[in-house]
Amino acid sequence: MRIAITGTGSYIPETVVENQDFEKQEFLNSDGSIFKQDNAVIIEKFKAITGIGERRYVAESLNASDIAFLAAEKAISDSGIDKEDLDYIILAHNFGDVAHGQYQGDTLPSLATRVKHHLRIKNPKCVAYDLIFGCPGWIEGVIQANAFIKSGIAKKCLVIGAETLSRIVDPYDRDSMIYSDGAGATVIEASENLGQILSHETATYAHDEAYFLFFGKSYKSPSKDNTKYIKMYGRKIYEFAVTCVPQAMANCLKNSGVEISEVRKIFIHQANEKMDEAIVKRFYGLYDMEVPSGIMPMNIEKLGNSSVATIPTLLDMVRNGKLENQSIRKGDVIIFASVGAGMNINAIVYRV
């Protein structure tokens, strides 16, 4: 049985926030002290490392479940299926619906249930649930959908990644410039000739790595303020990612039976341009090869890091010719790979 991605859709928010918009921001060290460098230098270094020049924020009236629904509508339309035939809706996120001006995540009911409600699906056998797996959540959702279909308990699944990270960042933390909002969705179903998941790989490293990403207080927070924001140990994450992700990709490729020379594209979580480049370089280094030109589509320069949404959004853009000099054709072998909070890593080898 072949299991394929038969439809994609994405929602990219309209509000553009450029790096220069942070020039008057008050950035502090983790101990609350002031940086010796001015913001122009901080932003310049940030751009050189991450590759991010701008990012997108959702409108005040929208939440993560809303943009997930908008992406889902497009994916369902693209696939041509009847929404009532969906067996599962799997929605990967990390913080639930965080309303504008709020910091508390709302997951009751689940975001997947809200998407099913917005889609007006009447079929009670369409099961909707959320998946919290850090940035690799969308890939893990596809892996779960693949398992459901292989087992015979499902025929069609909708897998979504949606996040509004702009609403849970500490404005005094320079890492806040990394994060953005967005949603990407895919329809996964059994298909005779529309693609095939060849293999997958997943691992969780939690002995020493569990809290590389965590919730913490603002760098300028009164002692009585218990509001918490997304925080990370960037250097530790970088070292972990460039060490563990290339081998996971290689293991996945080996299990697929595909040769490295057949790989045409690598869709990697858009977390940090330098980190992604290092991961792919080390991956090809395992085969004593140089990185092929154009192998890694990137949209991080314009869209920032929207966590679980980065890969499905990127895939949708490439499939629809919205990324310059990037395309995929029937028969191409591509790799999906991600790393994120947990610390989790995963990969899929897929033939288009």
List, for residues 132-146, the tens digit of each pLDDT value: 999 999 999 999 999
d(CA 222, CA 179): 24
Active site residue 118: no
List, for residues 41-89, the tens digit of each pLDDT value: 999 999 999 999 999 999 999 999 999 999 999 999 999 999 999 999 9
Domains defined for the chain, CATH in brackets = 3-194 (3.40.47.10), 198-351 (3.40.47.10)
List, for residues 167-176, the tens digit of each pLDDT value: 999 999 999 9
190 pLDDT tier (thresholds 50, 70, 90): very high
Residue pointed to by tokens 């020379």: 261
Share of the chain above pLDDT 90, in %: 91
Nearest to 337, CA basis, from 296, 289, 301: 296
User: What does 294-351 look like in DSSP terms, one character per residue?
Assistant: T-S---HHHH-B-GGGHHHHHHHHHHTT-STT----TT-EEEEEEEETTTEEEEEEEE
Active site residue 305: yes
Q: What pTM value is reported for the model?
A: 0.95
The sign one gets for the Cα dihedral 292, 296, 297, 302 is: negative
Selecting among 269, 272, 344, 346, the annotated active-site residue is 269
Active site residue 252: no
Selecting among 63, 146, 299, 305, the annotated active-site residue is 305
Cα separations (Å) of 228 from 69, 150, 164, 258, 262? 27, 41, 15, 45, 45
Selecting among 135, 146, 272, 344, the annotated active-site residue is 135
Three-state DSSP class for residue 180: coil
